[in-house]
Amino acid sequence: MGSNNVLQLPGSTVESAWKQFVRTGSAQPGAVRTEILHSWQRCHEARVNPCGGSGRLLREQRKAERARNGRSDLLAIAKPFMDRLYRFVAGSRLVVFLSDASGVILECIGDHEIKDNASKVNLVAGTDWREEAVGTNGIGTAIKLRKPIQISGMEHYCARLHSWTCSAAPIFDDGGEMIGVLQVSGPSNEVHLHTLGMVVAAVEAIRDQIRIRKKNLELNRLNDSLNKIFHSMSDGALITDDGGAISHVNRAGKGILGADIEGRPIGEVLRGNPLIWKHLQHGEGYTDVEQIIDTPRGCIHCLVSGTTLRDDAGAPNGTVVFFNRINKVKKLVNRLSGALASFGFSDIIGSSPKLRDAIKAARGAAAGSSNVLVLGESGTGKELFAQAIHNHGPRRDGPFIALNCAALPRELIASELFGYTDGAFTGSKRGGRPGKFEMADGGTLFLDEIGDMPLDQQAILLRVLQDRTITRIGGDHVIPVNVRFVCATNKDLLEEVRKGNFRLDLYYRLNVIQVKVPPLRERIGDLNDLFRHLLDKICARQGRRIKHVSEKMLQQLARHDWPGNVRELENVIEKMLNADHDATRLAFKHLPERIAGRNMGPAVCSSPFYPSQDRHFGKREKEMTDLLREKELLLKLLSGHRGNVSKVAREMGLSRNTIYRKMRFYKISREQVFQ
């Protein structure tokens, strides 16, 4: 506190200076302190009445209440220090005041006698003590100067305050914003020079308390945020103290381990788990360790991470452990790795009778949960049917995992299906790996070429089908699996049973619902639609556009046997496109030699779908009968609906474009329809 902030000049000198200033608007240099003279000048310019000196009561009680409520935080902090300051000066006929930053008094504490005297000049709560309202005074001038000041006697600009001495200091927050003023007032003969020092010390204590309270509020907010994060996490989480007792557990953790685990030793809750204890005891962290946790609720297959908590000295004083059910993690992995079925029944191209029968059987299979056996030659689209069955069934939101039993060496099939533990065999991945059964949990496991599975693995597969549990290679924990099996083969499994290559009991387990996918030669009527679909797909991939397709070329394609089925057709189309990269039309000359060079008989009625006269004659004859029936049905429906293609398409369950293609194929004209 600088010496110029306290009363120094004799009373007679200040009195003479005040009278001169009130009379003339100026004073002799040095007659009063510079701060006081400047304050008088401000009061003179504001036309403050020097004969006044009463605080202005706020006209509306609501304004006073708003001022008080607006600084309730300051009041709560400052009040204990005001009480302490008053107890220190009790009996000295002093009053302690607190105002807001605008000069409105919020609170006053003091002797009754001196408070009564103060009320005579409205030095009470709810009054305005700005310089512009009351003239030079402790609160108003401290606000103007933004620093502590003591104003005594006739240093006040207004005469009614000349018997008072006011010691005031502004209160600032951490951001440097003034939030209030603390003042001690009393009769001039009762106030000492050290009073201002006590006020300044009290203000510093208030400011320290404001800073502490702010930090506590920040810590409380941070703690509240962390607590919300902790309890809203999808992973289970628990915290232990340095003795291993569980001090906190979040909602997800209670859902996995039970709601009554707080306060219990972690070794009791996660019993039978030496790996976790090893890390806890040695203060080591670990990340994404796959473990079977033996809890009071039973064994739970989890992915676990943990870290050690340390005190300021670096000594371990607890731990935090995160864990999640492995099936939840697997669902995420499956979604990100593309272990999903992409196709539905609408993606199966064609409308021939045999294909419609296959789709009908597959739709029926999709609605249930029984195992499905998809039969068909290579390249017919068995996996397409398997995916459609999955996507139209109750497990559509689960994973779709596919494994080709013929594409893996026999020694790897078991590890692919069942997975393995850490160090199960030479070359195994560190930490182990889940198998297809686990990854397909809650969804569908598609085993392609099931007829090529070795006999010893068939026995294990049969046990999984019966028990719905698996054990990883090298492990001893039984893991439950909830999987629907869809299998496919191009072999006659009963013949394989007779040969001793396939187990009869497994055959009956798998062959609950059977779906037969017809080869392309038995649904040659779909070739045109298939050709255009595959052509569009390959052109999109290569950035090509084919404007026209030769009728002669299509006729030759229809004469082919297609032993490779749809896969062979796709291969032929890609070969034709690569034969001439600049072509915008596909003609007979673009056909591969093995197809173009064979003469397999003429096409009936110039149809591109006439079956060849070969060893499949009996089957082709039946197909011709089916085509004739389809033509008769189409004519009947067109006639019945008077040529309305949309109604015919709805009744046949086909698109309008398909109906138009069939009309062109069967050479059905509008004249025929309206005969």
Same domain? For 509 and 533 the reply is no
Judged against a pLDDT cut of 70, whether residue 623 lies above it is answered with no
Judged against a pLDDT cut of 70, whether residue 9 lies above it is answered with no
Residues facing 423 on adjacent strands: none
Same domain? For 386 and 422 the reply is yes
CATH number of 549's domain: 1.10.8.60
pLDDT at 608: 33
Identify the weakest region by mean pLDDT among 41-45, 213-217, 543-547, 618-622. 618-622
pLDDT at 111: 72
Same domain? For 62 and 182 the reply is yes
Contact (CB, 8 A) for 163 and 187: yes
Same domain? For 324 and 346 the reply is no
E strands, 261-391, are 286-295, 298-310, 316-325, 372-375
Contact (CB, 8 A) for 295 and 269: yes
Q: How confident is the model at residue 59 (pLDDT cuts 50, 70, 90)?
A: very low
Give the pairing type, strands 246-249 and 127-128.
unpaired
Contact (CB, 8 A) for 517 and 374: yes
Judged against a pLDDT cut of 90, whether residue 355 lies above it is answered with yes
Judged against a pLDDT cut of 60, whether residue 7 lies above it is answered with no
The reply to whether 604 falls in a domain is yes
Q: Max CA-CA distance within the chain?
A: 138
The reply to whether 225 falls in a domain is no
Contact (CB, 8 A) for 154 and 15: yes
The reply to whether 150 falls in a domain is yes
pLDDT at 631: 79
DSSP 159: G
Judged against a pLDDT cut of 50, whether residue 293 lies above it is answered with yes
Give CA–CA dist 602/248, Å, rounded: 83
Contact (CB, 8 A) for 172 and 157: no
Find tokens 């108003």 and name the residue. Answer: 140
Alpha-carbon 302 to chain mean position: 21
User: CB 410: neighbour CB atoms within 10 A?
Assistant: 13
Judged against a pLDDT cut of 60, whether residue 44 lies above it is answered with yes
pLDDT at 607: 33
Give CA–CA dist 487/481, Å, rounded: 17
Nearest alpha carbon to residue 74 among 84, 62, 63, 82: 82
Average pLDDT of the residues in 355-366: 95
Average pLDDT of the residues in 450-470: 89
Which token pair is 352? Answer: 């021939």
pLDDT at 669: 74
Domain that holds residue 590: 523-614
Same domain? For 123 and 269 the reply is no
- Residue where a domain stops, chosen among 214, 249, 272: 214
Same domain? For 47 and 131 the reply is yes
Q: How far is CA 613 from CA 222, 406, 573, 616, in A?
A: 83, 34, 24, 7
Which token pair is 343? Answer: 């196709």
What size, in residues, is the chain? 675
pLDDT at 655: 78
Residues facing 341 on adjacent strands: none
Q: How confident is the model at residue 675 (pLDDT cuts 50, 70, 90)?
A: low
Which token pair is 530? Answer: 């298939």
pLDDT at 376: 94
pLDDT at 673: 65
CATH number of 673's domain: 1.10.10
Write down the mean pLDDT value for the chain: 82
Q: How confident is the model at residue 612 (pLDDT cuts 50, 70, 90)?
A: very low
Give CA–CA dist 487/404, Å, rounded: 10
CATH number of 302's domain: 3.30.450.20
Give CA–CA dist 126/330, Å, rounded: 67
Task: Please name the amino acid found at residue 351.
Answer: S
Judged against a pLDDT cut of 80, whether residue 424 lies above it is answered with no
Average pLDDT of the residues in 203-222: 92
Judged against a pLDDT cut of 70, whether residue 291 lies above it is answered with yes
Residues facing 513 on adjacent strands: 372
- Residue where a domain stops, chosen among 516, 548, 582: 516
Task: Specify the DSSP element, H or E, that contains 45.
Answer: helix 34-45
pLDDT at 610: 32
Tell me the pLDDT tens digit for each residue of 471-526: 888 877 788 888 999 999 999 999 999 999 999 999 999 999 999 999 999 999 99
Judged against a pLDDT cut of 80, whether residue 605 lies above it is answered with no
Task: Please name the amino acid found at residue 655.
Answer: S
Same domain? For 72 and 156 the reply is yes
Q: Which residues contact 70 (CB under 8 A, 6 or more apart)?
A: 100
Contact (CB, 8 A) for 17 and 32: yes
Judged against a pLDDT cut of 90, whether residue 648 lies above it is answered with no
Average pLDDT of the residues in 161-167: 91
Average pLDDT of the residues in 594-614: 46
pLDDT at 341: 79
Judged against a pLDDT cut of 50, whether residue 230 lies above it is answered with yes
Same domain? For 596 and 653 the reply is no
- Residue where a domain stops, chosen among 614, 639, 666: 614
The reply to whether 224 falls in a domain is no
Same domain? For 283 and 388 the reply is no
Task: Please provide the distance, in angstroms rounded to a whole number, between the alpha carbons at the two ends of the chain.
Answer: 117
Contact (CB, 8 A) for 170 and 147: yes
Q: Domain tally for the chain?
A: 5
Same domain? For 478 and 541 the reply is no
DSSP 425-460: STTPPTT-EE-HHHHTTTSEEEEETGGGS-HHHHHH
Same domain? For 43 and 125 the reply is yes
The reply to whether 221 falls in a domain is no
Contact (CB, 8 A) for 552 and 603: no
Average pLDDT of the residues in 104-124: 75
Same domain? For 323 and 345 the reply is no
The reply to whether 191 falls in a domain is yes
The reply to whether 374 falls in a domain is yes
Between residues 451 and 125, the one the model is more confident about:
451
Between residues 390 and 69, the one the model is more confident about:
390
pLDDT at 280: 61
Contact (CB, 8 A) for 55 and 127: yes
Which token pair is 107? Answer: 């609170």
pLDDT at 614: 40
Task: Please name the amino acid found at residue 377.
Answer: E
Give the pairing type, strands 95-100 and 400-404.
unpaired
Task: Please name the amino acid found at residue 199.
Answer: V
The reply to whether 308 falls in a domain is yes
Give the pairing type, strands 372-375 and 484-489.
parallel
Name the 3-class secondary structure at 373.
Answer: strand
pLDDT at 329: 60
User: C-alpha dihedral over 401, 402, 408, 414, to 10 degrees?
Assistant: 40
